[in-house]
Amino acid sequence: MTASTETIASTLLRWYDSHARDLPWRNPPGAPLPGDPDWPYRVWLSEVMLQQTTVAAVKPYYEKFLKRWPSVGDLAAAEEADVMAEWAGLGYYSRARNLHACARQVIELGGFPSEEAELRKLPGVGRYIAAAVASIAFGKHAVVVDANVERIVSRLFSIEIPLPKGREQITIRSAEITPRRRAGDFAQAQMDLGSTLCATRNPKCLLCPLSGHCQARQSGEPERYPMKAPKKAKPLRKGTAWWIERHGSAGKEVWLETRPGKGMLGGMRALPDDGWSASGDGGGEAPITGETENLGLVRHTFTHVSLELSVVRIVAASEPSGEGQWWPLCEIEQAGLPTLFAKAARLALAGS
């Protein structure tokens, strides 16, 4: 590290020591690593949940997971369907499947590896999570780059290369400023700085401890960074979901299926649909005959595609085809439906 980069690291760590957010998965700034053997599990769990999700959204899920599965061994022994159900609403459901698979592999290994390269061999653990767990959970020197770090570093060094190509240069400059000691605290300091001061819009440069080093601030246009390539329009898919209901012995029930393990929303409980995830335009046949009612549309945006889903109520006169189960309407909140089908359920219940 040069004198300048050392100054950046020491300045930010001093700021973090006084301004660190109090989060349930975080060790106090500068404190020794906890001796608790489940500490790496808690760090890893939080980092998986925080991918593309806000801290506010993650907190209740994190606490709920830890209450139900306090250790990685508990999570590994769980049924995948239960893990998916508890994850419902957090989105990006492949994370939940990888979470469960990773927990099982960690148990086979006898615990979490402490080295970044070994962590990257685990299911669902890429460069970012491996670096975060290595540095935060094990105190290793690792370069952690998330969206907050991309924004801070691209502004500090006025990096003009648009994302995603600019990530290579951002990673190089991040490595230059990451200290050998307290790399985990430094990573979390950047996360806090990006969340509170160096925001995407209206950055609070006057309060920022790094403002004197920031080339973007000196240019007068910090919001230009990080530069991004123009977004491509997302394709629109259309499909149909069926709300199949009947009067059971304990009241009204709705038919739920478990989606195939691979593909969008894989392994989740859901309403039967016409295969929009495969064909892109719906058009399949209902899994049962009976009196029908068109309830309207629900719309949902995934990472790479937008969806319009027609919701059709069918009053069952026989058993639906395929694998599934009748679920009591009074307990629909416990079904763990992903957001798309939870929207469809709310539409159907509003029309009841």
- Locus of tokens 């989740």: 268
The model's pLDDT over 195-250, given as tens digits with 9 standing for 90+, comes to 999 999 999 999 999 999 999 999 999 999 999 988 888 888 888 999 999 887 77
Is pLDDT at 281 greater than 90 in this prediction?
no
Q: Which residues contact 260 (CB under 8 A, 6 or more apart)?
A: 266, 267
Catalytic residue of the set 6, 47, 285, 331: 47
Strands 251-258 and 306-316: unpaired
Helix (H, G, I), strand (E, B) or coil at 270: strand
Measured between alpha carbons, how far is 248 from 252 in angstroms, rounded to an integer?
Answer: 6
- Asked if 209 and 309 sit in the same domain, the reply is no
Is the dihedral angle over the CA atoms 323, 329, 335, 338 positive or is it negative?
A: positive
CATH number of the domain enclosing 308: 3.90.79.10
- Asked if 247 and 302 sit in the same domain, the reply is yes
Indicate the pLDDT class of residue 268, thresholds 50, 70 and 90: confident
Domain stops at, among 224, 256, 271: 224
pTM of the model: 0.76
- Asked if 218 and 243 sit in the same domain, the reply is no
Measured between alpha carbons, how far is 7 from 13 in angstroms, rounded to an integer?
Answer: 10
Determine, yes or no, domain membership for 230: no
- Asked if 247 and 220 sit in the same domain, the reply is no
- Locus of tokens 């990773």: 102
For residues 282-291, average pLDDT? 68
Domain that holds residue 18: 3-224
- Tell me if residue 108 is catalytic: no
Measured between alpha carbons, how far is 328 from 181 in angstroms, rounded to an integer?
Answer: 55
What pLDDT, on a 0 to 100 scale, did the predictor assign at position 278?
A: 46
What pLDDT, on a 0 to 100 scale, did the predictor assign at position 146?
A: 95
- Asked if 241 and 198 sit in the same domain, the reply is no
Kindly report the number of other CB atoms within 10 A of residue 239's CB atom: 20
Indicate the pLDDT class of residue 283, thresholds 50, 70 and 90: low
Determine, yes or no, domain membership for 256: yes
Alpha helices by DSSP H, listed for the chain, are: 3-19, 39-50, 55-68, 72-77, 80-87, 94-109, 116-119, 127-132, 138, 147-156, 167-177, 183-196, 215-219, 276-279, 339-350
Measured between alpha carbons, how far is 80 from 84 in angstroms, rounded to an integer?
Answer: 6
- Asked if 315 and 204 sit in the same domain, the reply is no
Determine, yes or no, domain membership for 244: yes
CB distance 286 to 312 below 8 Å: yes
- Asked if 70 and 118 sit in the same domain, the reply is yes
For residues 45-74, average pLDDT? 95
Is pLDDT at 133 greater than 60 in this prediction?
yes
CB distance 200 to 31 below 8 Å: no
CATH number of the domain enclosing 137: 1.10.340.30
